[in-house]
Structure 1
Amino acid sequence: MTTQFLPHLSRNFLKLLEDSKKHDFIINIDKDINKKEYRVHSIIIETRSTYVQDAISNGLARKENDIFILELPDISVDVFDILISYIYGGIIDLDKKDASDILNLLIACEIFKLKELYDYIQDYLINNYQDWLKQNFALIQQVGSKTSEFTKLQDYWSTTIRKEPKILFNAIDFTTVDKEALLSIYKDEELCMEENELWDRIIHWGKAQNTDFPEDIDKWTAKDFNVLKKTIDDFLPHIRFYEISSEDFCYKIMPYNSLLSNDLYQDLSRYHLVSSWTPKFNRLTPRRKNIPLDSKLINFEQAILISSWIQGNKDNKIQNKFKKNYYDFQLITRGSRDGFTGEIFHKMCDNKGPTITVLRLKNESSILGGYSPIDWDINKRGNFEKTLDSFIFSFIDKETILSRVKEPDNAIYQFDGSNFVDLQLNYTFNSKNGVYYSLRAYEKQIIQNEGNFVVDEYEVFSVTKKSG
């Protein structure tokens, strides 16, 4: 049987480090007033670090009076204290250490080729310093890309960017992010960012790379615009300019129109002036095709179409000027999760502002739904609400039907559930008379037969306009 007494061995080696008896190696750490000399033993640090072996063999560690001397001015004393304690004693204690010191320790471990610590330090950072990592996201990318072996940071970067790209774009060190890394993000077809925000951020990043620009854009010269254009030119083909609203085009794009080709700018101008204009340039497919929507009933493309109807689209396809998804759908209630009663509906959905309701009829694939710009409110039970903006709809196989209100005085009826007069959720929605449909207050018939039906699933989403 083999018995290990490693703690005793560790203490003895650390004592040797403290006493520095018979040292034959000096490492000068940090610089200027922070500079500190460490007296160590070549036989130990050579054994523990291939970097030191190489430094001796290639002359990086010079020899004076039989003592090797190695200069490492880019490693701080605080970091090297942790590192040398590990080299001698196999002990590492990161409790109460600053996140920046821990990240710099990882860099120092890469220098000394202490690969056994790579994963441990990366995991420690990711598990304990989320807020700091998100504020210094560009730095995380830069360190993660130093070596292919920093896989934990690389995975953290790429996963976070895909889910929450604004963490990078809002990071305090955003303008220091590497151009190629940033360009790879702009090329991402599934990037969850609005195009106007991507334009804002690349302008901000481009300005930061050229600190001589006047703060007031009205004072810029043609040379200034040319410099900025060269800086961000590689990003422009990846921005969906036609998905940027007319208002943002006016206030955000027009002041920088010289950054775009004249043909593209003229075509964009016509697109925003003529509702039926067909874009001729930069016709990229919309991003976010695979971003999950928290729904069991509708997909993302259907949500985009419903959003266009809220904007005013009267067609069952998305026209050019409605290809901008200005609305978020946030799930409020789901029948299979929360229940199918009017009591639960009002508990979950009252006074939540505009809502979309979608439902599926039992034993059918038909999806029916409606949009109310008015609060649901149990205190108004039995009252009609007036609006010109509500509509109901259906997705049946490959057919889509939109029906806008034709009797605005009777558009919405406050009752047990979502009640659009024509399309009503009543009493217990998944019971025999849970849903009723008839053509009365809206323009078109959205299903073939009128009468009572049973719901086997329904969802209600709050509808909020996107910022920007």
Structure 2
Amino acid sequence: MSLNFFDKLSQNLIELLNDKEEYNVIIEVENKEKSFTAHSNVLKFRSSYFRRELENIQPNENNIKIIIKSSISAQIFNVILQYIYGGIIDLKNCETRFIYDLMLAADEFELDELSNKLETLLIETKGSWLRTHFSFIYHSIFNRHDDFKKLKNFCNDIVVKYPNLIFDSNDFTSLKESALISLIKRNDLQIEEIKIWDYVIKWGIAQTSTLPTNLDDWTKENFLTLKTTLQQCLPHIRYFHLSGIEVLDKIKPYKRILDKQLWNDIDQHLIAPERPVKATILPPRSVLVTELPTRADKSFSTIISEEHAAEISTCIDRKIAAYTLTNIPYEFELILRGTRDGFAPQTFWNICHGHARTVILVKVKGTDEIIGGYNPLAWDKDTDGKWMETKDSFIFSVKNGNIENSILSRVNQPKYAVLNRSKNDQIQMGPHFGDFWMHSEKSDFTLDNYCYCRSIGIYYEKPIRSSSERFSIINYEVFKIVRKTI
């Protein structure tokens, strides 16, 4: 029989942490602007990280050991210490980003119990936030070797269905090798095999800036360099499921990065596919669809969370009491997603033509901003340029990351609420709400800084951005707002 009194033990250890008389360790954080006191025996027995650190630090003249962790915030480290001493943390009023950063810090301090618990909590209760910040999450967790396997699987389960989230992103070539391998070895990666080869070559070339731009200028040493870079990736290509034309056009120009026996086997297989080869033949990928879901499919956002959807629904209905996740009266039906359908302005008009009651969502490049607009009327691509009059449209920005508060700006000049662009303008101009519009002179909203929000309210009540500078975007989505049926 055993009697447990953990609550009292936890309380006493927290009291020890707060006691400033007997400490022998100081931890400096936030660029040495904040400091915490602690006890070496507690730290080293609770964390192997601190055990190593303390063994390598000489005490000062007062017999105090000083640990410097400049990059960690005081708020995060305070929670870490509360956990180390008392085994309890309170996440009731914490933002999801704080929980995520706390998980990373717990992993850094080798507090496996805490980091694993927070990882599970994020996956089970904060899935919409993880999807909204997908690119950031993906790159940050795959920078860590064997950590966060559950989060990595969570992300890869999304990527295999929507590969363009990673493969077509601007920072694809900065992907860690381990992340790339974890994707291309998946049998269920929903992408054509030859495209996987193209992406692998693109990634490999980007890792070595000295390779000539023109393949005809490559030397034997250049091919050897690329072969060395890709030696862990090449075994995961399904060479024997490529067509003859694909092999001739795509593989043969780079045959010198393949082992000679493998190339001979590929060549033989094209001529006599029934004959055995020495190379291992991987199974074909189980590609379920030849293209990503059509715009008629229901899907939720990669930009906003369900909480944001409730907030936007409240604005649409002009409610004083905000909708909650349990009583949102609308379905957000995806019509267009930039990463899926493309970022050409003309694509917006082609896809959204005839759709009314739509919400435009835009993720601004280089900031945490999410901005957008609601149009209750139908978009029309067949006009010569005509303003639509409505008193029910609005533009907005929503709380996200470093953006502390949402902004709602309703139309105050209904005659100039929304503009249907002329056919000539549609090549460069996308959706246009009086004081906010999407524009690209390169016919790709991600390639130049021509999207714009006015810095003062003219047609709408107030500006939705603090900056008046033009901007580019990472992604945008258009949803049709449909009332739920009972």
Normalization by structure 1: what TM-score? 0.46
Q: TM-score, normalised by structure 2?
A: 0.45
Structure with the bigger percentage of helix: 1
